[in-house]
Amino acid sequence: MAAVAALPVSLSARFKGSFAYFTVKDRLPQILTKAIDTLHRHKNEFFEEHGEKGVEAEKRAISFLSKLRNELQTDKPVTPLEDELPDAVLWNQYLDYQRNLSNGNGEPSWFQSPWLFVECYMYRRIHAALAQNPPIGSFDVFKEGKAQNFFESQEAIIALCTYFQELLKNIKDLDEKQLQGELFKLLQVSLWGNKCDLSFSAGEESSQKSSPLQCLEDMVPYIIVDDMEKLWSLLINTKKRNTEKCNVRVDIILDNAGFELVSDLVLADFLLSSKLADEVHFHGKSIPWYVSDTTKSDFNWTIKQLQAANHMWMSRCGINWEGNLKKGVWVYQDHMFWTLPHVYSSMAEVAPDLYADLQKSNLILFKGDLNYRKLTGDRKWEYTVPFHQALNKFHPAPLCSLRTLKSDTQVGLKPGQGEQIQASEPEWMITGKYGVVQFDAAP
Ligand code: F6P
Ligand code: MG
């Protein structure tokens, strides 16, 4: 029987017996240290913009973050949020729920709480450290890293934009088979784009260096669940059956800014240009999240950077994408739910408006590892448990996860498949080397 009733694994349990998990454990304090350094380095900027008030705010934010790091490192209880930001009530209700789970065994502490919860909680507290300290309240401590990833991936971005603009020249002449081939390529670029994640490397450089299209063939064996054919069938059949000419809508639940975001935008443009979709809705984060996740400001910044680039095809992409937003065929949305600790099976209850909105979609693409963890409840499932079962009634519309494996949750494998990889590569679930394109059709 699958571990459906098992509690999510706590941070300390994940650390036992595996060297790699110790790196994970180190990663959260490292991220906080980097955030503190970043604030220090911007001291002069805060002074120039806001005078003494800016410097005082910087000091308060740093002391808040230092306290947070100390709480984490000394395994203190996870305390209720004391700010009055709009999501604080939901967070504190969730904390109560965690307390009840601990069955009177005292306050849940950092190492004794589910990993998903404490990790999300850390990012929410980082947000509070800034948001509570105007006039630097909207400063994103992760912004520089995201921009750096974008600039360091420049060659790969040029290669991708050039390939795509060449493709657009004759996209109308492609037959179905060719269209399918192009979709598969861009899905894979978007999948492997998910390797470029900064929370994974504690904010260290993690850009796309080589041409993202050249190595696709070699990476095929590492796609351990490949439902691309199912995705294609859904899209082409929706297009053919669409006799009432309703808009076909695809939603992309974004993950990281930098190269990954560009790969997602190219995929979105392809869906429109090939007429497989009529509108694409992007869902980003409303606060800085997991170091490299995309916020509205990152989204707009990326499109502006592309537009202003010195390279013809890069800037053509940027111009077209700005146009898509203006025409309303691309829509950027964010919702508080994406930065709560809740798993997606509770979305219908916690964020019924978001769930209802997603029900209007013909296909939802979930990018990245954290989305996968939240889709599957971040549980230690047996590998062969069907994806549909792990989704635990989260079925707003047909959905697909494009994710490289960085954490030890995986479902929907063939019998023996996981064990076979495990035998030769004990760290296979956390290195980002393997990926899935995993589809679930049934609402
Ligand atoms: O492994 C560290 C980690 O922060 C995980 O907690 C998380 O699942 C992942 O990295 C983030 O990856 P992604 O950006 O693909 O969601
Ligand atoms: Mg991420």
Q: Is the dihedral of CA 39, 44, 49, 50 positive or negative?
A: positive
Q: What CATH number has the domain bearing residue 50? A: 1.20.930.60
Task: Say how many Å lie between the CA of residue 404 and the centre of ligand 2.
Answer: 11
Residue of 370, 374, 378, 427 to mutate, ligand 1, most atoms within 8 A of C-beta? 370
Nearest ligand to residue 201 Cα: 1
Q: What is the pLDDT of residue 335?
A: 98
pLDDT digits (tens, 9 = 90+) for 238-250: 999 887 788 999 9
Instruction: State whether 271 and 350 are in the same domain.
Output: yes
For residue 438, the model assigns a pLDDT of 98
Domain end among 75, 107, 131: 131
CA 113 centroid distance within chain: 22
Residues 55, 151: one domain? no
Range of the domain at 56: 2-131
Please tell me whether residues 183 and 226 are part of one structural domain: yes
Whether residue 74 sits in one domain with residue 164: no
Q: Domain boundary residue among 107, 131, 155? A: 131
Tokens of 40: 């220090």
Q: What is the pLDDT of residues 361-377, one digit of tens each?
A: 999 999 999 999 999 99
- Ligand 1 contact via 401 beta carbon (within 6 Å): no
| Closest C-alpha to ligand 1, atom 12 | 369
Predicted local confidence at residue 208, as pLDDT: 64
Give yes or no: residues 103 and 216 share one domain.
Answer: no
Are 70 and 62 in contact, with CB atoms under 8 Å apart?
Answer: no
User: For position 212, what pLDDT does the model report?
Assistant: 84
Q: Are residues 97 and 203 in the same domain?
A: no
In a 13 Å sphere around the CA of 443, the CA atoms on its Cβ side amount to: 13
- Asked if residue 211 and residue 354 are part of one domain, the reply reads yes
Instruction: Confirm or reject: Cβ of 320 under 6 Å from ligand 1.
Output: no
Around ion ligand 2, residues with a beta carbon closer than 5 Å are 197, 255-256, 290, 293
Q: What is the H or E stretch that residue 302 is in?
A: helix 296-308
Cis upstream peptide for 221 (omega within 30°)? no
89 and 217 belong to one structural domain: no
* 265 and 289 co-located in one domain: yes
pLDDT, residue 112, reads: 83
User: Which residue numbers in the chain have pLDDT < 50?
Assistant: 1-7, 13, 15-23
| Structural domains of the chain, count | 2
370 lines ligand 1 (CB under 6 A): yes
Q: Does 172 lie in the same domain as 127?
A: no
